[in-house]
Amino acid sequence: MSRQFISGNDAFALGILLAKPAVISAYPITPQTTVVERLSEYVESGELDAEFIHVESEHSALSCAIGASAAGVRTFTATSSQGLLYMAECLPYAAGGRYPIVMMNANRAIALPWNIYGDQSDSLSQLACGWIQAYAEDAQEALDFALMSYYIAEHPQVAVPFMVNLDGFHITHTYEIVDVPTREQADAFLPPYETENRIDFARPKNMAFSAGPGHNKIFRRNHHKAMLRSSEVIVECESRFAEFFGRRYSGLVDAYKTDDAEFVLVTLGSVAGLARDAADELRGQGAKAGVLRLRYMRPFPEEAIRKALAGAKAVAVLEKDISPGKGGAVFAEVSGVCESVRLNAIGGLGGEDISKESLRSVFAMLAEGKEGELWL
């Protein structure tokens, strides 16, 4: 294992290099572009034995990945913002076909107004498309997700595509020291790609077919059950990952000082570190503050959230998105699990900075018994 000072995008690209996909379908879009650029360099240099296909659009990128996965090989693609929305038709195709594609999404605001900076409106708008959705906090977790996502998606009990989300610029373009596994370590951790869900002329099968009312629900239910089973596979994968690499993750959520917390801030992505700093400062002043980071939005960590927030007097959800006419998508889901959810803090839209002072104010408002929607 080596230590490198690299960006989140470079870290993720290294993780994909180590996972050794056979097909990479690529279309550039800020702030994702450097991921596929690095992978093209690995293919060109011979470090990665893969077919690199530069397609004409994001829709084609995912269509290509679906075809490659159906042919029976490990695949990868990446996108961001409007590119993810352009893929929207293909997302449920990949999920319903149970193709274990891995895709990196660089979280970025969606138009209009046009904006290249990072919020999470793009991925959170696609929660119902049937993909596993994970949210990295930093470059190290980004690299590790690149490896773990293939293990989870390709597990025979899951067989569901996996979307890894990195906050645009805050993670994708920020440089950090990252531990990079060796090829030997990665090969030992990640089994070779195997699937029965592929075109096989020796064993013909019908794929991507129509199903009427009597059978459609069976496919939907099986897909739903596979997504729920992925919760157990995630725990298994992270335990295996810790054995190989010494880094242990916490499953679907990452709870910080929530055991005795009276006031908890729920969030996801890179802002969690700042939230923990704010909670630590408040702890120093005698306030029992805690932070719950959602590492996964699908499968939704209902039981883990309920357990972490069981003792809290009041809870706020901080998210970088808005569903006009309703509020935050994360707030809507978390408030359905916990009756103590009081505040929906909307911040970071269009890449606007979230300050520690604003997070302290969220905790203060919880302590004052404030409820409703708060725009930071």
CATH number at residue 366: 3.40.50.920
Strands (E), 215-365: 253-256, 263-267, 289-294, 296-298, 314-319, 341-346
Same-domain check for residues 233 and 272? no
| CATH number of domain containing 177 | 3.40.50.970
DSSP result, 168-192: TTTTTT-EEEEEE--HHHHHHHSPP
Same-domain check for residues 201 and 330? no
Cis peptide before 204 (omega within 30 of 0): no
pTM above 0.85, yes or no: yes
Could you say which of 182, 216, 245 is where a domain stops?
245
pLDDT tens across 23-57, in order?
A: 999 999 999 999 999 999 999 999 999 999 999 99
Question: Tens digit of pLDDT per residue, the chain (376 long)?
Answer: 899 999 999 999 999 999 999 999 999 999 999 999 999 999 999 999 999 999 999 999 999 999 999 999 999 999 999 999 999 999 999 999 999 999 999 999 999 999 999 999 999 999 999 999 999 999 999 999 999 999 999 999 999 999 999 999 999 999 999 999 999 999 999 999 999 899 988 998 888 889 999 899 999 999 999 999 999 999 999 999 999 999 999 999 999 999 999 999 999 999 999 999 999 999 999 999 999 999 999 999 999 999 999 999 999 999 999 999 999 999 999 999 999 999 999 999 999 999 999 999 999 999 999 999 999 9
Same-domain check for residues 166 and 299? no
Same-domain check for residues 297 and 181? no
Same-domain check for residues 277 and 358? yes
Could you say which of 245, 275, 291 is where a domain stops?
245
Residues in the chain: 376
- Choose among 338, 348, 345: nearest CA to 362: 345
Owning domain of residue 222:
2-245
What is the model's pLDDT at position 373? Answer: 96
The β-bridge relationship of strands 2-7 and 175-180 is antiparallel
Same-domain check for residues 171 and 237? yes
Same-domain check for residues 193 and 300? no
Sign of torsion, CA 202 207 213 218? positive
Burial of 33 (0-12, 13-18, 19+ CB in 10 A): middle
What is the model's pLDDT at position 36? Answer: 98
Q: What's the number of CA atoms in the CB half-sphere (13 Å) around residue 311?
A: 12
Same-domain check for residues 127 and 175? yes
What is the model's pLDDT at position 232? Answer: 98
Same-domain check for residues 336 and 193? no
What is the model's pLDDT at position 206? Answer: 85
Same-domain check for residues 203 and 76? yes
Q: How far apart are the first and last CA of the chain?
A: 41
Q: Are 148 and 19 in contact (CB under 8 A)?
A: no
Could you say which of 199, 216, 245 is where a domain stops?
245
How many domains are contained in the chain? 2
Please state, in angstroms and rounded to a whole number, the distance separating the CA atoms of residues 198 and 19: 20
What is the model's pLDDT at position 208? Answer: 83
Same-domain check for residues 94 and 35? yes
Same-domain check for residues 334 and 226? no
Q: Are 308 and 258 in contact (CB under 8 A)?
A: yes
What is the model's pLDDT at position 22? Answer: 98
